[in-house]
Amino acid sequence: MHMMTIAHTDLDVSRVGVGCMSLAGPAEKARAWVDAVLASGVNLFDHADIYGGAGRKERLFGEVLKAEPGLRERMIIQSKCGIRSTGDPTPNAPGRYDFSYEHIVQSAQRSIERLQCGHLDIFLLHRPDPLVEPEEVARAFDDLHKAGTVRHFGVSNHTPVQIELLKKHANRPIIVNQIQLSVAHTHVLDQGIVANQNVGGAVGRGEGSLEYARLNDMLVQAWSPLARGFLSGRPIPPEKEKMNEAAGVVQAIARERGVAAETVLTAWLLRIPARIQPIVGTQNLERLKNACAADELALTREEWYRLFIAGRGGRLP
């Protein structure tokens, strides 16, 4: 697995990372998965305080680190905060987003306690909060960094202008934006080719997200890069029938190249020049191995566009 240094940091991360939302117990099973991930050359583990509800996935991961603390030195650990559940902290509280100073600081501290990891290498704001006060975010980032709680900061599901608003006040670089991106979810790429076109409908595409990342040397992490398995053999339900064409193209290219479908899907992301790091969430070690093999597969421009056109569901303008 090739490594890359995240700009504005000294962090060397694998080209592919893993997501821990589906991490499964008991602790012995989780430990075997962690060992297999590290053996594959992957070193970035992505968490969030809401995974599993009430931090259960972070707590399970923490049991693995508690059993063998030496594993921590081989990992880059990131987590996310900002999504609050219905009923938290009072019964009538709605599900919502919270970028208040208090919530950011407490979330980071609690994630570290659950993960038993000493500090977070990267801490992301999970989804944009319409009530965000960027001065509060900046103060939280500063205090967490000064305390040694968090080394670096980023965001998830943010648009360029939302990032710019945070950067106006932040003293720490925003080094990552984690967004949904796959052959089956191409909106941020579509935006760049449908300008001044009558395409109908209003889809939030995160205008200029990839270009913004390239201009600002930000790492883009792609969540759900394997499209939940629907393009690599999982039965496609009727409401997702538009995926059938893309699945056919993925599997055709996989046969032509003699690789697995997961390898093709991940290689498609790695081919994008905007420094994409796929965050693969599967607990299936064979699928993870296939995704990691994309590090050695270079798709041609023609193959990449075959996948893009099939995934977006229509010819190019």
Catalytic residue positions? 51
Backbone angles phi, psi at 19, to 5 degrees: -100, 145
89: cis peptide before it, omega within 30°?
yes
Cis peptide bond N-terminal to 26, omega within 30: yes
Determine contact, residues 275/15, Cβ cutoff 8 Å: no
Work out the number of other CB atoms within 10 angstroms of the CB of residue 298.
11
d(CA 298, CA 268): 8
Strand pairing report for 83-84 and 96-97: antiparallel
Whether the CB-CB separation of 45 and 77 falls below 8 Å is answered with: yes
Q: Is 40 helix (H, G, I), strand (E, B) or coil?
A: coil
Could you write out the three-class secondary structure of 104-172? HHHHHHHHHHHHCCCCEEEEEECCCCCCCCHHHHHHHHHHHHHCCCEEEEEEECCCHHHHHHHHCCCCC
